A and B are shown apart, each in its own frame.
Chain A
Amino acid sequence: AQSVSQHNHHVILSEAASLELGCNYSYGGTVNLFWYVQYPGQHLQLLLKYFSGDPLVKGIKGFEAEFIKSKFSFNLRKPSVQWSDTAEYFCAVNPPPSGGSYIPTFGRGTSLIVHP
């Protein structure tokens, strides 16, 4: 079945450590890729997106992600995390439209805890 896989379900880091969260998808063809973040007690919001062009995309709060087409991956990175980055992170894919509809599919999410 087509899917989105996030390999790290729980990540615990100290402040200033580097972060990389993995995301792989299994859809063929052209896809649009997203990372969403859910801070404690808040709604899901977009962190960054990739539609086309430069495969290295930058998002809010110093996050970036790299699209590697040959690896079907869209990993999220941040060089130095802060306590305020504690949140749940979701990778999502818009696969090629089915019947004209885009059906966003999400990974299971990664819970990130950053210790001060």
Chain B
Amino acid sequence: SQTIHQWPATLVQPVGSPLSLECTVEGTSNPNLYWYRQAAGRGLQLLFYSVGIGQISSEVPQNLSASRPQDRQFILSSKKLLLSDSGFYLCAWSETDSPLHFGNGTRLTVT
């Protein structure tokens, strides 16, 4: 069966520090991969999605970037965090137009 791993679960980082959140999927090949940010009362905002290795599409201009160095690995990064980057980040995968499968999320606090 397929599983998704996302880490770390919580992270506290100072302003201006770099960020790396990692997500890996097991049990499937060439999944669609997604990074969302969840804010209370504002639902899920799609940040990046990827349909294959090295193929990244950005939905929202921001201080973040994403990479997919391997088929089932999706990384969310920042060179210098801002206070406004605080939030709850979710990784998800799907097969074409099938339902999304979510990781447990990362609570990022930028201080």
Q: Is the CB of A103 within 8 A of B43?
A: no
Q: Is the CB of A105 within 8 A of B46?
A: yes
Question: Among the listed stretches B17-25, B67-75, B78-86, B100-108, which one makes contact with chain A, having 4 or more residues with CB under 8 Å of it?
Answer: B100-108
Given contacts A43-B105, A103-B49, A104-B34, contact A90 B94 (CB under 8 A): no
Given contacts A45-B102, A49-B99, A97-B97, contact A104 B46 (CB under 8 A): yes
A99 to B43, CA, bound (A): 25
A34 to B101, CA, bound (A): 12
Please tell me which one of the listed residues A100, A101, A109 contacts residue B41 in the complex, with CB atoms under 8 A apart: A109
Please tell me which one of the listed residues A6, A45, A102 contacts residue B32 in the complex, with CB atoms under 8 A apart: A102
A-B contact count (CB 8 A): 54
- Chain B positions near chain A (C-beta within 8 angstroms): 32, 34, 36, 41-44, 46, 49, 51, 57, 59, 90, 92, 94, 96-97, 99-100, 102-105
Q: Is the CB of B103 within 8 A of A102?
A: no
Question: What residue in chain B is nearest A105 (Cβ atoms)?
Answer: B46
- Could you list 15 A-B pairs, sorted by A, with CB under 8 Å? A6-B43, A36-B99, A36-B100, A43-B102, A43-B105, A44-B90, A44-B102, A45-B102, A46-B99, A46-B100, A102-B97, A103-B49, A104-B34, A105-B46, A108-B41
- Chain A positions near chain B (C-beta within 8 angstroms): 6, 9, 32, 34, 36, 43-46, 49, 90, 92, 94, 97, 100-109
Question: What residue in chain A is nearest B51 (Cβ atoms)?
Answer: A101
Q: Is the CB of B104 within 8 A of A104?
A: no
Given contacts A43-B103, A103-B49, contact A90 B97 (CB under 8 A): no
A104 to B46, CA, bound (A): 8
Residue numbers in A under 8 Å from B96 (CB-CB): 102
Q: Is the CB of B102 within 8 A of A107?
A: no
Interface centre among A6, A32, A49, A104 (most CB of B within 10 A): A104
A49 to B98, CA, bound (A): 9
Q: Is the CB of A102 within 8 A of B94?
A: yes
Residue numbers in B under 8 Å from A32 (CB-CB): 97
Q: Is the CB of B43 within 8 A of A90?
A: yes
Please tell me which one of the listed residues A34, A43, A90 contacts residue B104 in the complex, with CB atoms under 8 A apart: A43
Residue numbers in B under 8 Å from A9 (CB-CB): 41
